[in-house]
Amino acid sequence: FTHYSPADAKLSDEAKSLFVTDIPLFLNETQVRQAFSRYGTVIKCKLTPKKHYYNGHIQFSSADAITQFNDIWAIICLGNSLRVCPTSFSKSQRDSRREHVAILVGIPKNIKEADLLEIATQVNAKALNVPLSINSYKPKPYVYLNFSSFDTLEAAKELSVAFCGKGLTWHPPNEAHTLCHVCGRSGCSPSVCNLVPHAK
């Protein structure tokens, strides 16, 4: 007979669980559960609204399924990139996954992260996220890329990157607020952007 301890049970559940962020609101629990089923037997999938995304809690039947996520920072679900980290991670371990970030600007409209996986591989990024506009919920014309270290980030910024034959430009994350939501150019804005269709 083993004494039941709620604290031990919580630790046991944590060892089998993932914390997931950046889940678009148009995805549902069934779709998310299915995406994670590629990595092990999912016994629990819970989505909680957080601003204009969901956060997710995924629990596998075994802690063995979690080990692979020490190196996997994001998975693709129906073309969308969901960031992941083991629930057992400390705050500093979680924060380290968002420490080395750059923005690539100039991607076409209505692109999903799955379309950019080749670029992520080329620049050695561990995760990518195309932010969604709060008003229209459409993808913005740039992508955040997360790197495992300062060195891999700096090496990536030395590379010339193109998508569909169009050159993309690197920007630090603190410039995101200066980027136009329509064309992605710094200093432009939707009200004056020449890519906005105007009524004749």
Q: pLDDT digit string (tens) for 88-128? A: 999 999 999 999 999 999 998 889 999 999 999 999 999 99
* Residue pair 42/33 in contact by the 8 Å Cβ criterion: yes
Q: pTM value?
A: 0.86
Checking if the pLDDT of 200 tops 50, the result is no
What confidence tens digit (pLDDT) does each residue in 146-171 have? 999 999 999 999 999 999 889 999 99
Q: Evaluate whether residue 193 is within a structural domain.
A: no
Kindly tell me if the per-residue pLDDT of 43 is higher than 80: yes
Report whether pLDDT(4) > 70: no
One domain, residues 139 and 159: yes
Phi, psi for 50 (deg, rounded to 5):
-140, 105
Statement to judge: residues 13 and 90 lie in one domain? yes
% of the chain with per-residue pLDDT over 90: 74
* Nearest by Cα to 46 from 14, 86, 73, 19: 19
Please state which of the ranges 3-7, 65-69, 100-104 shows the lowest mean pLDDT: 3-7
In a domain, 195, yes or no: no
Which residue range is the domain that position 85 belongs to?
Answer: 6-95
User: What amino acid is encoded at 96 in this protein?
Assistant: S
102 assigned to some structural domain:
yes
Q: Are residues 80 and 110 in the same domain?
A: no
The answer to whether residue 63 is domain-embedded is yes
Q: Write the CATH number for 14.
A: 3.30.70.330
pLDDT bin (cut points 50, 70, 90) of residue 191 is confident
Kindly state whether residues 49 and 13 are assigned to the same domain: yes
Q: What is the C-alpha to C-alpha distance for residues 111 and 171, in angstroms, rounded to an integer?
A: 19
The arithmetic mean of pLDDT across residues 67-74, rounded, is 97
Residue 73: inside a domain, yes or no? yes
Is residue 162 a part of any domain in this protein? yes
Q: 71 with 145, same domain? A: no
DSSP per residue over 93-132, as a string? HHHHTTTEEEEEE-PPTT--GGGGHHHHHHTT-SEEE-PB
**How high is the pLDDT of residue 195?**
64
Q: State yes or no: pLDDT of 72 exceeds 80.
A: yes
Instruction: Return the bridge partners of 127, or none.
Output: 146
35 located within any domain:
yes
